[in-house]
Amino acid sequence: MPDPSISQEQNHLLAALPDSIKARVFPRLKLVEMKLGDVIYESDQPIEFVYFPANGIVSLLYDMINGSSAEISVVGNEGMTGIAVVMGGDSTPNRTIVQSSGFAYRMPAAELKSEFDNSPEVRVLTLRYTQALITQMSQTAACNRHHSIDQQLCRWLLLSLDRLPGNKLKMTQELIANMLGVRREGVTEAAGKLQDLGIIEYHRGQITVKDRPGLEALSCECYAAVRRETERLTSGLLQ
C-alpha cells in the first residue's frame, strides 16, 4: 500500500514547480510502489507513463545483443524517468529497472508532454535536468572505459547514497556486476577491499557504508564531476 508519509515535494523536480503549476499537476500524479527489480520500461517500447521517484532509485541499462548489460545512469528523487517524451521521442533504447525499492509519482506521458509544450517553467526545469542526466551518462561512459572496477564501485555506491535517506543499500554483488557491466568476481574482490578497509560492511545482500569520506577519497573524479554539475543545474531552479 502507498506510504502516506510520502509527498510530491520529496521529488526535487516536482518541488521546484511554481505553486500555480503544482495545483494543476499534483492532482494528476499517482503514488505507486517500485519494487526491487521491477522493469519500468523495456527498450524500444512506447513510454506510457513518466515516473518521479520520491525515495527509490531507478537504473537505465543498455542491453547488448549477447545478453550483457551496463548501467548508463541512475535516477532518484532529483529527477524523473521517461525524459525522451519531451525530447521528441515516444520510446527509449534503454531498459529501465528499479535498483532500490521505494515509491514514485506516476504521470501519463502525454500529460507531461502537454505541460512541456505549454509551460515555459516546466520546459526550463526539464531541460536543465536533461543536461544533468546527459552529463552523468557521458561521465559514466568515460569512467567505464578508463577507471578500475574498484573506482567504478566507489562511484556507483556514492551516486546511490546521494539518492537514499540513509547509508544502507540492498543489492547483491551479482546485480552490481550487471549494473557496472563487469564480472561478478571483480565486484566481489573490490567490495572485499572496501570491507577490509572498514569503509563498507556487506552482509546478506545489504551494503552499509560506514566511512563515506573514505569512499569519496577512493573514488575517481567522475563522481565529483557528476555531482558538481547536477548541483549547479538543480540549485535555485526557476529563480
Q: What is the per-residue pLDDT across 141-200, written as a single tens digit (0 to 9) for each?
A: 888 788 888 998 999 899 988 888 888 888 777 878 777 878 888 888 998 999 999 999
The answer to whether residues 178 and 69 touch, using CB atoms and an 8 Å cutoff, is yes
Whether 112 and 98 map to the same domain: the answer is yes
> Which pLDDT value is given to residue 217?
92
Among 100, 123, 144, the domain boundary falls at 144
Q: Give me the mean pLDDT over the 204-221 stretch.
A: 90
CATH number at residue 119: 2.60.120.10
Whether 70 and 155 map to the same domain: the answer is no
Among 144, 164, 190, the domain boundary falls at 144
In this structure, the chain runs to a length of 239
For the chain, what percent of residues have pLDDT higher than 70? 95
- Domain of 201 in residue numbering reads as 148-219
**Amino acid at residue number 157:** L
Burial annotation 23-56 (CB, 10 A radius, 16+ → b, else e): eebeeebebeebebeeebbeeeeebebbbbbbbb
CA dist., res. 126 & res. 177, Å (int) = 31
Kindly state whether residue 76 falls inside one of the protein's structural domains: yes
pLDDT tens for 25-59 read: 999 999 999 998 899 999 889 999 999 999 989 99
User: In sequence order, what are the residues at sequence separation of 6 or more whose Cβ sits closer than 8 angstroms to the Cβ of residue 158?
Assistant: 212, 215, 216, 219, 223, 227
The answer to whether residues 190 and 149 touch, using CB atoms and an 8 Å cutoff, is yes
Pairing outcome for strands 206-209 and 200-203: antiparallel
DSSP state at residue 168: E
> Which pLDDT value is given to residue 239?
46
Whether 213 and 100 map to the same domain: the answer is no
Closest by Cα among 108, 84, 95 to 38: 95
The model carries a pTM of 0.87
Q: Kind and range of the H or E element at 39?
A: strand 39-41
Cell numbers linked to 216: 569519496
> Which pLDDT value is given to residue 236?
52
Domain count for the chain:
2
Whether 128 and 13 map to the same domain: the answer is yes
CATH number at residue 153: 1.10.10.10
The answer to whether residues 13 and 78 touch, using CB atoms and an 8 Å cutoff, is yes
CA dist., res. 129 & res. 221, Å (int) = 21
Q: How confident is the model at residue 104 (pLDDT cuts 50, 70, 90)?
A: very high
Kindly state whether residue 3 falls inside one of the protein's structural domains: no
Kindly state whether residue 173 falls inside one of the protein's structural domains: yes
The answer to whether residues 70 and 97 touch, using CB atoms and an 8 Å cutoff, is no
Q: What is the largest CA-CA distance in the chain?
A: 54
Kindly state whether residue 61 falls inside one of the protein's structural domains: yes
